[in-house]
Amino acid sequence: MTFSDFSFSPALLKGVAAQGFETPTPVQAQAIPPQLEGRDVLALAKTGTGKTAAFGLPLIEQVAGRPGRRGGPRALVLAPTRELAVQIEDDLKRFGAGMSLRTVLILGGVGRGGQIRALSQGVDVVVATPGRLMDLMGEGRVRLDHVELFVLDEADRMLDMGFIRDIRKIAAAIPAGRRTALFSATMPTEIEGLAHDLLREPVRVEVAPSGETVTAIEQRVKHVSAGHKRAALAELLSDPAFERVIVFARTKRGADRVAKNLATDGFRAEAIHGDKAQNARQRALDAFRRGTARVLVATDIAARGIDVPEVTHVVNFDLPDEPESYTHRIGRTGRNGASGAAITLCDETERDKLRAIEKLIRRAFLPCGALGDQPPAPAQNQNRGAGPKPGRNRRRRRPGARAAA
Ligand code: ADP
pLDDT tens-digit readout, 113-130: 999 999 988 899 999 999
Return the CATH superfamily for domain 3-206.
P-loop containing nucleotide triphosphate hydrolases (3.40.50.300)
- What pTM was computed for the model? 0.59
Q: What are phi and psi of 245, to 5 degrees?
A: -125, 130
- Alpha-carbon dihedral of residues 89, 95, 101, 106, nearest 10 degrees? 0
Q: Whose CA is nearest to atom 19 of ligand 1?
A: 50
Asked if residue 395 has pLDDT above 60, the reply is no
DSSP letter for 244, please. S
CA-atom Rg of the chain in angstroms: 22
Task: Please tell me if the CB atom of residue 184 comes closer than 6 angstroms to any atom of ligand 1.
Answer: no
Report the pLDDT averaged over residues 267-285: 88
Confidence of residue 369 (pLDDT cuts 50, 70, 90): low
Q: What mean pLDDT, rounded, does the chain reach?
A: 85
Q: Sketch the domain layout of the chain as residue ranges.
A: 3-206, 217-367
Q: Cβ(244)–Cβ(308) under 8 Å?
A: yes
Contact partners, residue 147, CB within 8 Å, separation at least 6: 72, 73, 74, 75, 76, 174, 175, 178
Q: Whose CA is nearest to atom 24 of ligand 1?
A: 21
Beta strands in 65-216 (DSSP E): 75-78, 103-106, 125-128, 149-152, 179-184, 203-206
Beta strands in 79-134 (DSSP E): 103-106, 125-128
Asked if residue 165 has pLDDT above 90, the reply is yes
Asked if residue 379 has pLDDT above 50, the reply is no
From 67-76, 231-240, 332-341, the region with the lowest mean pLDDT = 332-341
**Cα 349 to ligand 1 centroid, rounded to whole Å:** 39
Task: Please tell me if the CB atom of residue 213 comes closer than 6 angstroms to any atom of ligand 1.
Answer: no
Report the pLDDT averaged over residues 71-76: 90
- Calculate what percentage of the chain has a pLDDT beyond 90: 60
Confidence of residue 405 (pLDDT cuts 50, 70, 90): very low
Do the domains 217-367 and 3-206 match in fold?
yes
Q: What is the pLDDT of residues 296-330, one digit of tens each?
A: 999 988 877 676 777 889 999 999 998 888 888 88
Q: What is the pLDDT of residues 6-59, one digit of tens each?
A: 999 999 999 999 988 888 988 999 999 999 999 999 999 888 889 999 999 999
Task: Please tell me if the CB atom of residue 21 comes closer than 6 angstroms to any atom of ligand 1.
Answer: yes
Contact partners, residue 311, CB within 8 Å, separation at least 6: 244, 245, 246, 332, 333, 335, 340
Task: Please tell me if the CB atom of residue 250 comes closer than 6 angstroms to any atom of ligand 1.
Answer: no
Instruction: For residues 272 and 303, give the distance between their C-alpha atoms in angstroms, rounded to a whole number.
Output: 8
**Cα 53 to ligand 1 centroid, rounded to whole Å:** 7
Q: Which atom of ligand 1 is nearest to the CA of 87?
A: 7
Contact partners, residue 324, CB within 8 Å, separation at least 6: 160, 360
- Alpha-carbon dihedral of residues 111, 114, 117, 121, nearest 10 degrees? -140
Confidence of residue 339 (pLDDT cuts 50, 70, 90): low
- The confidence score (pLDDT) of residue 278 equals 80
User: CATH classification of 217-367, choosing from 3.40.47.10, 3.40.50.300, 3.40.50.2020, 3.60.40.10?
Assistant: 3.40.50.300
Asked if residue 390 has pLDDT above 50, the reply is no
Q: Whose CA is nearest to atom 15 of ligand 1?
A: 50
